Structure 1
């Protein structure tokens, strides 16, 4: 029997494999087993009825035998197992009705078995609706018979067409076995499914725990990366502050022409290095969704001219024509926005344009797209006559660390972060960048940004008027522990005739504020004994109102958002990142001392 069962199981599994659902596979297998095992069952009955001379039973069982063969073939070739199961259920129902009305003229054990068989098979094969339907039409003849039975009892005996006791016992035993096996088979399948689902659920829970642990590890790694970049930013910016600061100071001391050229190259190189550092840090901010836009008034005319001036030397070195066109609508207007981020976009695009252009020109044009009483939409266009970009590579250049070709980095350098940062900044402005480029002809980038604006103050100026002599009266305290930074700040302030007092740490700074009168304090954030945060908080707690409210500007090489928040929480008035532009320091000194006067 084992040798026969193995190929039979293989045959059934092969036919059922076309269904992917486990329950449907179980239904097909059960149906196939019923049909296959009813073939020898009906064959035995055919022989028994031939010898017993039971012609009516012989006809019925022969029809069942042929139907089993036909249905097996139909399922094998046409996969119509649902239709076949309906035919089987209809055949069982017909057998019940024929027993009640013709073969038995009552309800015997076989008839009850067929009813139970049809009810269970209806639910297992086709679900609730069909299960109720087949149960109803199989129970109905019993109800009709009971209603019409004047003797008020069920007749559980042999009908008008009797068969031998041995045959009857075979039929009853076979049917009972099928009913028992059907329940056993489906219970086993459902039980396996429940076990599998439970195991899957447990696996998913374990996987979720692992994912949670992995996410926590990634968060720790991300925080460690941010801390590392912050530390590296501070460590790199500190010496750069010295290089750029001393370069600015020396350039203001009327150097010889050759000295001025060397200092210009030194300053330009240091500022380029600073730009690369800023790109890496800014991209990390964007990647962590920690970047935010400022909303402050600024003069777009001045911003555009400053950007133009900052790259003029680089364009002149390559003998390129550098053109700037600014909309007349921007005169007498102070736009509200983030000048730092906008400068970042423009400088990245302009520096790229100059870098990839060997002959010809680079131009920046700013036009008005829309103008209302308090709102303006500007169209920015940066065009060059450089190497251009092939059409199939034009979208790639906006992906991090990717450049148009492998030779680009070798020939021109760069990190591949400039354009991705441009794209992210413009996304923050609800804008998109458009590009038109033809290889060996040139490239044009364009984008629109909308701004609110207000009328500009004619008395406000960004120039260091009177060589900064208007600030000469200021008493400034510099809290700084780095000798190079002290030298840079002193030389920067001395050009405005300001002679600062220096405190080497926060503790000394607080003591000097208590002992002397100062108009403003320049506070480094990271110092021994007492850092800038604690020193600022201590100053704000002084009993003398004038000293407690002295303006404090934080000087830091750390440019994280968390630093700006801590600066504000500690009571400082403003923040200036190192390396700083002397003009920025001048404006902050002027603004805070005027407000405090």
Structure 2
């Protein structure tokens, strides 16, 4: 019937849980059944003239009508089912024991079974047990204290006609049977659905796992591709930047110096772009782990600012940095390379987007504890500023504050995303205070473990001694197969009056080591015949201790943390990436001056 179908659809649509949907339907069917049950008994008892039973039948019909209206209009099936259970208990069980039967008959037992089953199905085990006890208790009380025969199934003092009594028994039995049938039908359907869903989830998980593996493989392919591209790009850049540095130190004419400076600037910008893409790829792939290296914050900041101050002076900006006194005497434990990366990106942005005024970096301690110090880094400028609505978006990859920013200032939009990813590794975030035309202030806090620094005079004397070392006496072997790289390294070493020997592969290097004594070896990693790793292993296994322990510095255009681990694992002493700065190379040489 359309009316009943509409009723069921309405009450079912209000519940998302299939079990609750079944409960609302079961309540409707039971109330509807007892409405017709009461109506039919009203006619029967009116015909036989049994007034008490007639009153009960009329009340049942009226209450059923009210319950159906409430059930249709309001989503209160839980409350309504409690009311129905109370009515079954009071009008079915207790009324029979006290009034109509004054004992227990078959109909009384049916109402007990009905109340127990309905209580468990509608409200679960706890509430079901409460209604079970309430309905079973009067039977036990009657059998224990009042029933002379302990138990009987007669019709009681108010005898009803046999056809009516049989009708009541049949109706109640079918009601009880229907409750079990309906609930277990839904239960089995849900079990089947859950089984199918589980199978579908298993299939989906298998597909997801396969997809994840494919994504991992794709990520590895991307990493390998970018590493290869990085190596292939850095190798010619090493030639361009290295030879430009050599030419700049050969007292070129003024016009040549200007041309060489532009050439060096362009090559270094291209190198920075390659480094940013590779770094972002590593950070995005979650393959980066922070190192725990001792470093002095003041020295680090001084070097960072020295690299940026030149750009600021070209724009006539007031550039300054400040490190609080307590921090200068501490040796922090952290990843100075990543801290440098963060600060350089922020400082370079500050200089880039500031046309007049100042750029300032300050570092101050927020709290110094027994084993850690919390430091606040602040980079502020008087540049173009950032619109408030765009401040969070600038940390997304390949995004800048506006289209005009990209057009006027250039850039890939990778600097700040790299800053964000590195700071996430330190469990920190950048705070921005900026508005259009009023500059910008970037700040973040990092907690570092620390230890007390060595005495300044000892440290300074060591640095002074290192820098004053005469490198011209070093006998250096360069193991490199690329002619341009050989030229760059040779001319760079010639600046310090070092005339190196050159081996074009590992086999040639071993022959030269057997015939000569070297103070240091600069080792390329990827060469024909015998690569740098295998060559180093052979050198470290030599019988001659002096030759076996000669310092070996890796030189490679491949840049990733795995290369560094591999280099140290085979026994090399250091690592320089191509293209390298001449000062970095000389610093590595000084470390190994005996």
TM-score normalised according to structure 1 size:
0.88
CA-atom RMSD in angstroms? 3.2
**Could you tell me which of 276, 279, 282 is aligned with 2:279?**
282
Unaligned ranges ≥5, structure 2:
none
CA-to-partner distance for each residue in 1:341-369, whole Å, 9 max, x for gaps? 444334323332332233x2433354655
Cα 1:15–1:305 shift into 2, 3 Å: closer
Displacement, 1:411?
A: 1.4
Aligned to 2:576, the other structure's residue is in SS state: strand
Q: Does 1:74 align with 2:74?
A: no
CA distance in 2, matches of 1:371, 1:190: 61
Q: Does 1:496 align with 2:492?
A: no
Map of 2:213 onto structure 1:
216
Displacement, 1:141?
A: 3.9
Q: Does 1:57 align with 2:53?
A: yes
Cα 1:22–1:546 shift into 2, 3 Å: same
Greater shift, 273-282 or 33-42, is seen at 33-42
Aligned to 1:290, the other structure's residue is in SS state: coil
CA-to-partner distance for each residue in 1:314-373, whole Å, 9 max, x for gaps? 44554x234335569599968556554444334323332332233x24333546558989
Greater shift, 8-17 or 186-195, is seen at 8-17
Q: Does 1:124 align with 2:121?
A: yes
Q: Does 1:564 align with 2:564?
A: yes
CA distance in 2, matches of 1:110, 1:444: 84
Cα 1:583–1:330 shift into 2, 3 Å: farther
Give the number of equivalent residue pairs: 585
Map of 1:574 onto structure 2:
574
CA distance in 2, matches of 1:317, 1:169: 108
Map of 1:483 onto structure 2:
483
TM-score normalised according to structure 2 size:
0.89
Map of 1:260 onto structure 2:
257
CA distance in 2, matches of 1:80, 1:132: 22
**Could you tell me which of 23, 30, 33 is aligned with 2:26?**
30
Map of 1:323 onto structure 2:
319
Is the CA contact (8 Å cut-off) linking 1:390 and 1:438 kept in structure 2?
Answer: yes
Displacement, 1:298?
A: 5.4
CA-to-partner distance for each residue in 1:168-190, whole Å, 9 max, x for gaps? 22222211111111111111122
Is the CA contact (8 Å cut-off) linking 2:101 and 2:158 kept in structure 1?
Answer: yes
Aligned to 2:592, the other structure's residue is in SS state: helix
Map of 2:101 onto structure 1:
104
Unaligned ranges ≥5, structure 1:
none
CA distance in 1, matches of 2:371, 2:109: 89
CA distance in 2, matches of 1:492, 1:233: 23
Map of 1:206 onto structure 2:
203
Map of 2:247 onto structure 1:
250
Displacement, 1:164?
A: 2.9
Cα 1:503–1:277 shift into 2, 3 Å: same
Q: Does 1:115 align with 2:112?
A: yes
Map of 1:458 onto structure 2:
460
Greater shift, 443-452 or 187-196, is seen at 443-452
- Give runs of aligned pairs for residues 231-242 of structure 1, distance below 5 A: 231-242=228-239
Map of 2:177 onto structure 1:
180
CA-to-partner distance for each residue in 1:125-155, whole Å, 9 max, x for gaps? 3333443333334334433443357764643
Displacement, 1:581?
A: 1.2
Map of 2:290 onto structure 1:
292
CA-to-partner distance for each residue in 1:203-246, whole Å, 9 max, x for gaps? 33223222222222222122222111111111111011101111
CA-to-partner distance for each residue in 1:67-89, whole Å, 9 max, x for gaps? 22222223333444334333333
Map of 1:440 onto structure 2:
437
Is the CA contact (8 Å cut-off) linking 1:110 and 1:171 kept in structure 2?
Answer: yes
Aligned to 1:162, the other structure's residue is in SS state: coil
- Give runs of aligned pairs for residues 367-406 of structure 1, distance below 5 A: 369=365, 382-406=379-403
Cα 1:22–1:577 shift into 2, 3 Å: same
CA distance in 1, matches of 2:74, 2:250: 97
Cα 1:413–1:77 shift into 2, 3 Å: same
Q: Does 1:420 align with 2:380?
A: no
Is the CA contact (8 Å cut-off) linking 1:285 and 1:291 kept in structure 2?
Answer: no
Greater shift, 138-147 or 559-568, is seen at 138-147
CA distance in 2, matches of 1:71, 1:374: 71
